[in-house]
Structure 1
Amino acid sequence: MDISLFQLFILCTTIAVVLGFGIRAARSVHSTKGFSVGGRSAGVPLVAGGIAGTCVGGGATVGTAQLAAVSGLSAWWFTIGSGVGLIIMGLFYARPLRRTALETIPQFLSQHFGLACGVFSSIISSIGILFSAVASCLPAIYIIAAIFGIPFFPATILLILAVAAYAFFGGMKSAGVGGILKMAVIWVTMAIAGIMASHSLFASPAFSAALPEGTFNLLHGDTAHILANFSSVVIGMLCTQSYIQAIFSASNPRTASVAAFTAALISLPVGLPCAMVGIYMHTAHPEITPILSLPVYLLTEQPPLLGGIAMGGIMLSLIGSIAGLSLGIGTMLSRDIFHRARVTLRARKIHKIASQPELQEIDILEIPTANHPWHLSELTVTRLIVLATIALSAFIALVNEGSQVLFWNYLSMALRSGGIFLPLSFAIFLPHTVSHRSATLSMALSTGAALAAVFLGAAGNPLFFGLAVSAICLLPCLLFRRGSGLASD
């Protein structure tokens, strides 16, 4: 992929400016709460920027263009699903979740269904979110390798360093600031690129004649498959820690709801110009590898300045998405597993001191920091988990180079939604209806069903296998409601 020195300079400058603002925002982050939820003081722009900056990543841009080169305009369904999911979140989920003043979805589930349910949901959500991060790592590695003319492995290392600079220091505050800036860049440049690609398609009779039948039909192809993928994205948006975490960072419930609507308006249209570019590149340059359709178009068929800025925006969309998703995993594993383990250890030590009079001179307040094997602060642990997640997702992408970007996105949505969506919805809208045992069993069996569907190659979207099993476990509780006495089991 040829790139001029001027374009490379503009690309790197665009990335550096946005990363610089994010690192600058990180100077005010000194605590775990400040890192994970921005101190709960974020307004609509920061919350919407954090959500849109995470969901508009590899799948919404490069992945949509890649799929459009093969399937046509139906590739737009991914960002349509993201927007619809965020609208539903703003209408029904954002306010009740923000009122809880928590930090993670597993914390919310633990309050309703017990500790075991919370820990299990933290693990399966992290696995699902990891696959979404892989989806953004795939095109990022390809683009870095193509631009700099280097092998995939050093390109992977460069990607890890860039994502770490984006999220490692500032967490949610850096993600929000970076999200606002990158979405401004992507909106303007992708709109121009989409208009120019559309004009090129329809202005040339040769291009128009070469388009396959049904190219611009949103339901072209396997309609059931398209709608299933759409549903998995909508439901996945409602169950993803990275997006809910931005909701938790809002200053109040109303801000959280308005920010979800704003993020929907930002993210939903992005896929259309990217799809048009993919369709054009498949028609005009069928020799181009589909995953590079959008980058090649921006660098070869756009003015150098615009192409350089646009490529910087694309790279930022990938970097920001990986960072936001990794932040969600880091927060869950730190708060819901590491923190709980520390609390348990502290309780055991306090009990030991209380039962042995000769130890009662020990200052109990020193126990959490001085007398346990995990002496690192929770903020440090969260940052290290985020860094480890970034590295793991990048190396999974490296091993699976050549796979479809949206495959990982849809797989991720299915796995993290099948077990979480129904218990989360019951907890919000019908509390005290589902028993602890049923909720935990539902998560375990539905996740197992979704995984089995994936690895056995079952026909149909794995999300619906998971949701079906989850419903079988939970609906009897609804049909035979036993009231708030369920909390006792």
Structure 2
Amino acid sequence: KDSLCGKSIAFTATLSSSLGTFISIAAQFLSCIAMLKGLFPLSSSAASLIAGFSIIGFIAAGGLKSFSTLGGAKIVLLYFVLIACFVMAVLNGGTVSFVASRLDLNPWFNPFGRGFVPEIGYLTSMIVGVFTTQIYIQALAAAKDSQTARKGAFASALLMPPMGLLGTWIGLTVRAKGIEMRPDEVLSWFIIDSFPPLLGGIIWGGILITVIGCASGLILGVSTNIAKNLVPEKFMEKNADKEVLIHRLIIGALVAAAAAAGVTGAGSMILEWSYLSMGLRGAGTFLPFIVAVLRPNSLSPKWALASSAAGLSGTLIWAFASLPGDPLFAGLGVSALCVLAGIRVRKNYI
């Protein structure tokens, strides 16, 4: 609300959210490229082009209606796929005793296997990203009552961890067998290697449709935010009769940019892109958002804007300067200083 944070913070919040979500869209392209290349003899550019046209087709065919329908089926589909892959991994020798005997405790079973600071950085990125991502907040805000919102949040908290554990175990069994390949190639290889062609094709196609649907939903959300909060209001009012065209151009630009990013980052760790996405979303909005919820009116609009801009700028500058440590911590630190200063000034003024 304007009375709590001021309208000006909408720009930095939208910019932060859009940058982070764009990275997530690029990660979906990386997934599409990896899956297509795992089954067909395609270059990264060709696979990215196919993914881009598929996403545009998905949006044109149904838009948000298709995305909402997919959302309900996605959890069921992913659970089916992961449980099926887990069962096949165990049947093919990937038991607990086998994996434990082949892999060392560190780093494979150590939660901080890549180092304490990097892992804490990934955890922090996930926390601030979930708190400030529009779709998560909107799901709670749109619930019919607070009890339904609590049940939804609790159900989500129960459903998500098993999916991660199942996927992790599948990857560990492949590693335990001494098979060396890029992380983004493992899933396609495992499906082709472990399932009969018909069942494997159904599983592969279901996952690809899910990825394309997720990318489509993210693109629709970002394009709406850009049109509503980043494009000047006067320009939109002047071209009100061309609003649909403007939205289409923004969608086309996002798809093209994400496709190019996917080609550039092909072969990289997709999860790293996801953590980066979450961190960018929360760097400029997490602390002002928390203060607005827990202590309304304790931060003036000017200081809320300063905290948001400082958080996003600090994260980006730290990253581009290649300074040691996680850039998110630098951004949150600068944002926290602005929040503390703003609260202190507000108290003295009152």
TM-score (norm 2): 0.88
Instruction: Tell me if the contact between 1:277 and 1:293 (Cα under 8 Å) persists in the aligned partners.
Output: no
For residues 271-327 of structure 1, what are the alpha-carbon distances to aligned partners after superposition, in whole Å with 9 as ceiling and x for unaligned? 111111111222325233321111110111123343223222321332233222222
Structure showing greater relative contact order (alpha-carbon pairs closer than 8 Å, 6 or more residues apart): 2
Please name the residue that 1:258 is paired with. Answer: 151
The structural deviation recorded for 1:248 is 5.1
Residue 229 (str. 1) matches residue 95 (str. 2): no
Match of 2:311 among 446, 453, 457: 446
Please name the residue that 2:253 is paired with. Answer: 388
Larger radius of gyration: 1
Match of 1:279 among 129, 154, 172: 172
Please name the residue that 2:330 is paired with. Answer: 465
Q: Separation in 1 of the partners of 2:46 and 2:96? A: 41
The structural deviation recorded for 1:382 is 3.6
Residue 243 (str. 1) matches residue 136 (str. 2): yes
Instruction: Tell me if the contact between 2:25 and 2:218 (Cα under 8 Å) persists in the aligned partners.
Output: yes
Counterpart of 1:409, as a letter, is S
The structural deviation recorded for 1:247 is 4.4
Please name the residue that 1:210 is paired with. Answer: 102
Cα–Cα, structure 1 residues 442 and 201, in superposed 2: closer, same or farther, change >3 Å?
same
Please name the residue that 2:81 is paired with. Answer: 189
Cα–Cα, structure 1 residues 288 and 326, in superposed 2: closer, same or farther, change >3 Å?
same
| Aligned CA-pair RMSD | 2.7
Please name the residue that 1:398 is paired with. Answer: 263
TM alignment of 1:324-473, pairs within 5 A? 324-338=217-231, 340-341=233-234, 372-377=238-243, 381-473=246-338
Please name the residue that 1:144 is paired with. Answer: 36
The structural deviation recorded for 1:252 is 5.3
Counterpart of 1:420, as a letter, is T
Counterpart of 1:467, as a letter, is L
Q: Separation in 1 of the partners of 2:53 and 2:140? A: 27
Counterpart of 2:70, as a letter, is G
Q: Separation in 1 of the partners of 2:67 and 2:141? A: 14
Match of 2:216 among 318, 323, 326: 323
Instruction: Tell me if the contact between 1:186 and 1:310 (Cα under 8 Å) persists in the aligned partners.
Output: no
User: What secondary structure, in the 3-state scheme, does the structure 1 residue paired with 2:105 have?
Assistant: coil
TM alignment of 1:81-120, pairs within 5 A? 108=1, 110-120=2-12
Cα–Cα, structure 1 residues 376 and 264, in superposed 2: closer, same or farther, change >3 Å?
farther
Please name the residue that 1:155 is paired with. Answer: 47
The structural deviation recorded for 1:444 is 1.6
Q: Separation in 2 of the partners of 1:453 and 1:330? A: 27
Q: Separation in 1 of the partners of 2:48 and 2:284? A: 32
Cα–Cα, structure 1 residues 204 and 254, in superposed 2: closer, same or farther, change >3 Å?
closer
The structural deviation recorded for 1:449 is 1.1
Instruction: Tell me if the contact between 1:274 and 1:294 (Cα under 8 Å) persists in the aligned partners.
Output: no
Instruction: Tell me if the contact between 1:449 and 1:466 (Cα under 8 Å) persists in the aligned partners.
Output: yes
Q: Separation in 1 of the partners of 2:153 and 2:54? A: 27
The structural deviation recorded for 1:396 is 0.9
The structural deviation recorded for 1:340 is 3.0
TM-score (norm 1): 0.65
Instruction: Tell me if the contact between 1:175 and 1:324 (Cα under 8 Å) persists in the aligned partners.
Output: yes
Counterpart of 2:326, as a letter, is N
Please name the residue that 1:351 is paired with. Answer: none
The structural deviation recorded for 1:141 is 0.9
Match of 1:292 among 177, 185, 207: 185
Counterpart of 1:154, as a letter, is A
Please name the residue that 2:15 is paired with. Answer: 123
Instruction: Tell me if the contact between 1:331 and 1:382 (Cα under 8 Å) persists in the aligned partners.
Output: yes
Instruction: Tell me if the contact between 1:164 and 1:323 (Cα under 8 Å) persists in the aligned partners.
Output: yes
User: What secondary structure, in the 3-state scheme, does the structure 1 residue paired with 2:35 have?
Assistant: helix
For residues 361-382 of structure 1, what are the alpha-carbon distances to aligned partners after superposition, in whole Å with 9 as ceiling and x for unaligned? xxxxxxx5xxx345213x5544
Instruction: Tell me if the contact between 1:168 and 1:387 (Cα under 8 Å) persists in the aligned partners.
Output: no
Instruction: Tell me if the contact between 1:241 and 1:329 (Cα under 8 Å) persists in the aligned partners.
Output: no
Cα–Cα, structure 1 residues 147 and 476, in superposed 2: closer, same or farther, change >3 Å?
same
Instruction: Tell me if the contact between 1:281 and 1:288 (Cα under 8 Å) persists in the aligned partners.
Output: no
Structure 1: segments with no counterpart, 5+ residues: 1-107, 344-367
Q: Separation in 2 of the partners of 1:260 and 1:392? A: 33
The structural deviation recorded for 1:453 is 1.9
Counterpart of 2:52, as a letter, is I
Counterpart of 2:206, as a letter, is G
Instruction: Tell me if the contact between 1:414 and 1:461 (Cα under 8 Å) persists in the aligned partners.
Output: no
Instruction: Tell me if the contact between 2:16 and 2:282 (Cα under 8 Å) persists in the aligned partners.
Output: no
Cα–Cα, structure 1 residues 316 and 230, in superposed 2: closer, same or farther, change >3 Å?
farther
Q: Separation in 1 of the partners of 2:253 and 2:160? A: 28
Q: Separation in 2 of the partners of 1:198 and 1:216? A: 18
Q: Separation in 2 of the partners of 1:285 and 1:226? A: 25
